[in-house]
Amino acid sequence: MPKLDGILETALYVTDMSRARRFFETVMGLEAFTADHRFTAYDAGSNTVLLLFLEGATQETVTLPDGMGTIPPHDGTGRVHLALAIEADELAAWEARLADHAIAIEGRTHWPRGGESLYFRDPDGHLLELATPGVWPNY
């Protein structure tokens, strides 16, 4: 069986790219390494990329320059869930940062393996989670 090395990209679909960029850059502290009118790509740590796509803007095949290939159409709607890994000693700082930006914490979980999770929403209603080690057998 061929082996997987992990998830490289995760995508969220947003209704207002400017608003989403402000949130992910100001509140979450991410820096975009490429962006245009329909998408933004962020380094989400540990060799993962968080992609924001404008809803409805990726429904046509994208042909890359110089014959490099194509990207098939995709899209999504609805409030989805995304968990971001943090170190346990960063949890209090994240709680303070969210409070400083008036972001409501909707839930907390203390996992049997020792991990903790905080849940809150981005401007599109996606459920974001900050999770410390001890949530899963592999994390």
- pLDDT at position 11 is 97
pLDDT score of 38: 94
Number of H helices, E strands in the chain: 2, 10
Which token pair is 68? 């490099």
Q: Which CATH architecture has domain 1-77?
A: 2-Layer Sandwich (3.30)
Asked if residues 80 and 87 have their Cβ atoms less than 8 Å apart, the reply is no
The pLDDT tens digits of the residues spanning 97-139 come to 999 999 999 999 999 999 999 999 999 999 999 999 999 999 9
Cβ contact 51:41 at 8 Å: yes
Q: Report yes or no: 95 and 118 within 8 Å, Cβ to Cβ.
A: yes
Residue 117 contacts residue 133 (beta carbons within 8 Å)? no
Domains of the chain, residue spans: 1-77, 78-139
Rounded distance between C-alpha atoms, residue 87 and residue 12, angstroms: 23
The CATH fold assigned to 78-139 is 2,3-Dihydroxybiphenyl 1,2-Dioxygenase; domain 1 (3.10.180)
